Amino acid sequence: MISTGAKKQIDAWIAKYPKDRQSSAVMQALKIVQAENGNRLNADTIQAVADYLNMPGIAAQEVATFYENYNHKKVGKYVIRFCHNISCMLNGADDLIAHLENKLGVKTDEVTSDGLISVKKVECLGACVGAPMFQINDDYFENLTIDKIDKIVDNLK
């Protein structure tokens, strides 16, 4: 359920916290395990993380459902997280999201039929002076235009 490599990564996080406070690493552990299990979590992986960190399953489930970065439904290899908060909205994010949905043939929270891309509307990502912007996996893309979006998306493989 949790690979040796993932355990090593989790252990590195555990080392940052005081002894017996390994549950502090749960947020990263869930991310790490999510990444190696098709970019989503389920009951088994959450329980495995809880067991590894010696915490109750429900406590890990609380964390996994409280924070926005965890996926509980199927997502694409690339998750485009489009900010639609105020600064992006003022700069036309809604139209750009509509364009992106059209281009990909999916609505937000859906996955393209090849499983490559899914789109999520998210709250402020803290890059307001670069609005409109989105995030693809770990990377930010700012000052988006229709042309720019087309280029970025066309390069996703």
Partner 1 sequence: MADIEMEIDGKVVSAKVGEMLIKVTDREGVSVPRFCYHKKLSVAASCRMCLVDVEGAPKPQPACSTPVAQGMKVHTQNDKAKASQKAVMEFLLINHPLDCPICDQGGECELQDVAVEYGSDVSHFSEGKRIVSDSDIGALIQTDMTRCIHCTRCVRFGLEIAGMMEMGGTGRGEHLKIEPFLREGIQSELSGNMIDVCPVGALTSKPFRYELRSWQMNSIPSIARHDLVGSNLFVQTYKGKVKRIASADNDWINETWISDRDRFSYEGLTHKNRLLKPQIKVQGQWKQVSWKVALDYAVKGLNSHVLKHKKANQLGGLVSSTATMEELYLLKKILTEVGCDNIDHRLNIKNLDNIITLDSNIKLDALEKIDYALIVGANIRLEQPMINHRLRKATKKGADIDVLNVMEFDFNYPLNAENITAPNKIASTLAGVLKSIMTNNVQELPNYLATIEVDEVANNIAVKLLNSSSSVIILGEHIINNEDASAIANLATIIAQSTNSKTLNLSITANTIAANLVGFVPQNSGMDVNTMLASEMRGFILLDIYPQHDFHHLETVVKAFTPDDTFVISLNSFKDDIITGYSDVILPIASVYETSGTQFNVNNDMQSYTAAVKAPDEVKPAWKILKVMADLLELPGFHYADSTQVLAEISHQPHTKHTHDGHINFTNKHNGIGVIWQNSPYSIDAVLRHSSTLQKTKIGQMNSACMNQASAEILGLSNNDKYLGVPVVITDTVADDCVFINTNHAINIQEQA
Partner 2 sequence: MNEVCFKNLTKDQCYSLKTYEASGGYSVWRKILKGQLTPEHIIDELKVSGLRGRGGAGFPTGLKWSFMPRHSDGQKYVVCNSDEGEPGTCKDRDILRFNPHAVIEGMAIGGFVMNASVGYNYIRGEFMAPFYRFEDALKEAYEAGLLGQNINNSSVNFDLYTHLGAGAYICGEETALLESIEGKKGQPRFKPPFPANVGLFGKSTTINNTESFASVPEIINRGGQWFADVGVENSGGCKLFSVSGHVKNPANFEVPMGTPFKDLLKMAGGMRDGAQLKAVIPGGSSTPVLTAEVAMSMTMDYDGIEKAGSMLGAGSVIIMDESTCMVAVLTRLAHFYYDESCGQCTPCREGTGWLYRVLKRIIDGNGKQGDIDLLLGVQDKIMGNTICALGDAAAMPVESFLRNFRKEFEYYIKHGKSMVKG
62/109 with CB nearer partner 1: 62
31/103 with CB nearer partner 2: 31
Give the C-alpha separation, 6 to 1, whole Å: 10
Per CB under 8 A, contacts with partner 1 among 50-69 are 56-59, 61-62, 65-66
Decide: 6 and 33 in contact? Cβ < 8 Å.
Answer: yes
Using CB under 8 A, which of 75, 76, 79, 91 touches partner 2? 91
Q: How far is the CB of 64 from partner 1 (least distance, A)?
A: 8
Decide: 30 and 66 in contact? Cβ < 8 Å.
Answer: no
Phi, psi (deg, nearest 5) at residue 42: -140, 180
Stretch (H or E) spanning 80: strand 78-83
Per CB under 8 A, contacts with partner 2 among 121-140 are 123-131, 135, 138-140
- Does the footprint of partner 2 cover residue 39 (CB under 8 A)? no
- Does the footprint of partner 2 cover residue 74 (CB under 8 A)? no
- Does the footprint of partner 1 cover residue 156 (CB under 8 A)? no
Contacts 24+ apart (CB under 8 A), 110-116: 111/74, 111/75, 111/76, 112/76, 115/76, 115/77, 116/76, 116/77, 116/78, 116/156, 116/157
89/103 with CB nearer partner 2: 89
Site for partner 2, rule CB under 8 A: 16-18, 21, 23-28, 30-31, 53, 55, 59, 62-63, 66-70, 81, 84-87, 89-91, 123-131, 135, 138-140
